[in-house]
Amino acid sequence: MSINSNKFKSQEATLYNNILLLSRNELFYTKFELSDTFQNRIHLIFIHISFIFIKSKIDMKDNEYKTFYQKLFDYLFKQIELNMREVGYGDVSVNKYMKGLIKSFYNILLYCENYKKEKNESKNVFFSRYLKSNIDQKMANNEPLIKYFDKFQAFCFDLGADNVLKGELNFKYN
């Protein structure tokens, strides 16, 4: 049992780290003109991982996948909590902030479930709500960001379940 547990932890860490790399891609902060803030990075992680969770819902016929995704969810929020503590947030602040983050995550996940069906205007409002830009929000054009996540969503739905388990997220945006 502990061998499987370690196997999953390694897989969770690999997938989490790959998602973290995607969310730290400099194009978000240069080409897409997002503010480089803790909040934006967390929301970018949430959006990326939401598409993977949605894809996984389709593949969750096997208990191995269900266990993996639950452990990934737990690992994700544990890493965020650890990072907050490293930055200097206290216990009360961390607990309060984590409640808000979990609520944001579920709101993002719910929106991403219907992402493909949404019109660009709705996507623009969604990204403006969760991702803060360096430019005036009223003037923000999220079209490049929408194109990025349209491609990422399609990429995720083409991934095999075993690729996700191995943490193989070789998404390249052109």
**pLDDT, averaged in runs of 10, over the chain (174 residues):** 48 89 92 91 96 79 75 92 88 89 96 95 93 68 91 91 80 84
State the pLDDT at residue 163: 81
Within a domain: 2: no
Residue 1 within any structural domain of the chain: no
Q: Is the pTM of this model over 0.85?
A: yes
CA distances from 116 to 8, 119, 127 (A): 30, 8, 14
Q: Structural domain of residue 20, as residue ranges?
A: 8-165
Provide the number of structural domains found in the chain: 1
Model pLDDT, residue 3: 40
Phi (first) and psi of residue 133, to 5 degrees: -100, 160
How high is the pLDDT of residue 114?
Answer: 94
Q: Is residue 160, in this structure, part of any structural domain at all?
A: yes
Q: Which amino acid is at 130?
A: Y
Query: What crossing angle do the helices spanning 143-158 and 120-130 adopt, rounded to 10°?
Result: 100
